[in-house]
Amino acid sequence: MLHQPIKMKLKNQPKDLKSLNDAARYSSMAFQMVIIIGLGVFGGIKLDDWLHMNFPVFTVLLSVIAVVLAIYYFIKDFTFMNRK
């Protein structure tokens, strides 16, 4: 069993801790967007290289899909977090 007074001490500053949690959440969402779009573009470029395409069709397609996916996950996470 953990000691009670220390818990009380932490409980006295809920505002700071809440903002720390929020900062972690939202920064993670931004990071997620960057990585998904980055992965899409990188995958597209590699695929075009591999298939020796004259026009970088997969780079274009996968970038657009990655942006759409990133926005979709962002909205989904955002609604989930607001529910909590």
Partner 1 sequence: MMRFFLCCMTLLFMSVLFLKAEEKHTPSGEATHQIEKKKFEPGSFMFDHIGDAYEWHIMTVGHKHISIPLPVILYSKTKGLSIFMSGRFHHGHNSYKGYKLEMSGENKGKITDEEGNLPLDLSITKNVASLLFSIGLILWIFLAMAKPYKRNALKPPRGIQSFLEPIVVFIRDEVAIPSIGKKKYEVFMPYLLTVFFFILFNNVLGLIPVPPGGANLTGNISVTFVLALFTFIITTIRGNRNYWKHIFNTPGVPVWLKIPVPLMPLVETIGIFTKPFVLMVRLFANITAGHIIALGFLSLIYIFAEMSTGLAYGVSIVSIVFLIFMTFLELLVAFIQAFVFTFLSALYFGMATEEHH
- Residue list 4-43, contact with partner 1 (CB under 8 A): 5-7, 9-11, 17, 20-21, 24-25, 27-28, 31-32, 35-36, 39
Q: 3-state SS string over the chain? A: CCCHHHHHHHHCCHHHHHHHHHHHHHHHHHHHHHHHHHHHHHHHHHHHHHHCCCCCHHHHHHHHHHHHHHHHHHHHHHHHHHHC
Cα angle 51, 70, 48 (rounded to 5 degrees) comes to 10
Is 73 a binding residue for partner 1 by CB under 8 A? The answer is: yes
Nearer to partner 1, 24 or 53 (CB): 24
Nearer to partner 1, 35 or 64 (CB): 35
Residue among 53, 60, 71, 72 that touches partner 1 (CB under 8 A): 72
Query: For tokens 């075009």, what's the residue?
Result: 48
What does the binding site for partner 1 look like in residue numbers (CB under 8 A)?
1-3, 5-7, 9-11, 17, 20-21, 24-25, 27-28, 31-32, 35-36, 39, 69, 72-73, 76, 80-81, 83-84
